[in-house]
Amino acid sequence: MCGERRSKSAAQDVPRENRGKSSGKNSANAENAENTENTENTEKRTCVTMDVTPMRLSGVVPTVRLGALRTDMHSAAKEIETQLTDWGFMSVEVPGIGAKVEAMMHSFEAACASTDPSLADYEYTSVPQLSNGGTHGFFPYLSEIPRLAKGVPDPKEFIHVSGALLADKPAGAGAVLAAFPEFGERAAEVFDTAFSLISLFGEVIRGMMPEGTPDFDLSRDATNLRVIHYRDLDGREVLAHEHSGIQLLGLQLPPSDQGLQYILHDGTWVEPVIAKSDLVLCNIGRMLSSASCGRFRPSTHRVHCTYSDTDYERLSSVLFAYPPHQARQWQISDEGLTVLDETWGDFIANRFRGLGSE
């Protein structure tokens, strides 16, 4: 079992009164955080966030080629380890991935606007699910109520495309992709690339853990690609409250606009400049924080945005990677490995009550 070790700079240990403060001292490079006028895509940005330091990553983080993911990720391992140690999340630049993600998100936006066929016919409650796996299918507008939202649902609709859904498991699960073939084709391509990337991030992180750490054994079937469409915001500036993911690892893909913010180890907030780019961010989830006995804290983030366009919309996507839900949980510390009786499915059940329930 885990001892007393905890991440010494975990965000949850920072006094809440300090957690909203921003500073450039822990950004990618201090000189990259000082001049907001020189950050990429500023001229295209319609979402304006105040009092949070932009964190320029393009040209700073390692470049990983789509045709050489394993080779380039292994070469960048030490830089990625340093990012996780210094920031609490990781980033690489993958030339070409931004265009693929943007095309996928816009095809989902078109699917949301369609009435025949309609995504409402493929709501997650009616899509066949694996008995041990993620929840896939369409989640209607206003269906998710985060814990910190005081009962107010997020102004978004989204879809979970799991590896199981892509493989039509159980039979009929993939019908939504057949109904929207352009989205299905683009989502499958992005899923494959994102799953390869997050698996390689996992190998780097595992190398930072004690000898005897089990393979992360990420499951394609249980992993979900979430594609999100924010709309009808009604003046809201908090599009996603401060949170961390329950999964083992998360891969944030480039969104259509800025607004995504992360808390650093010292409790300050920064806004990585990743909109309409080829930059991806890798998050630590609560599963890995538990498995590592607090060696790594969950990557805490939020989406805050001020906009002048009353018709403002935002598209984003993230891959949530899980181990098999039926596999037993494990925890490793400097004292050794413990395999628990509970499964990773139990971990989810104990810490997450379901979308829309709280």
pLDDT at residue 49 in the model: 59
The partner residues of 321 in beta bridges, in order of sequence, read 249
User: Domains plus CATH for the chain?
Assistant: 11-351 (2.60.120.330)
Count of positions (residues) in the chain = 358
C-alpha–C-alpha distance, residues 227 and 318, integer Å? 7
CA distance 26 to 86: 8
Alpha helices in 46-118 (DSSP H): 69-75, 77-86, 97-113
Return the closest-CA partner of residue 272 out of 260, 282, 264.
260
DSSP 123-138: BTTTS---SSS---EE
Q: Consecutive 10-residue runs of the chain (358 residues): their mean pLDDT?
A: 52 40 37 32 51 94 98 98 97 98 98 98 95 87 83 92 97 98 98 98 98 97 97 89 93 97 93 97 97 96 85 96 97 97 93 45
End-to-end CA distance of the chain: 30
d(CA 232, CA 313): 8
Mean pLDDT, the chain, rounded, equals 87
Q: Which helix (H) or strand (E) holds 288?
A: helix 286-291
Q: Tell me the β-bridge partners of 262.
A: 270, 301
> In this structure, are residues 344 and 331 in contact, taking their beta carbons and an 8 Å threshold?
no
Q: Compute the distance between CA of residue 305 and CA of residue 46 in angstroms, rounded to an integer.
A: 9
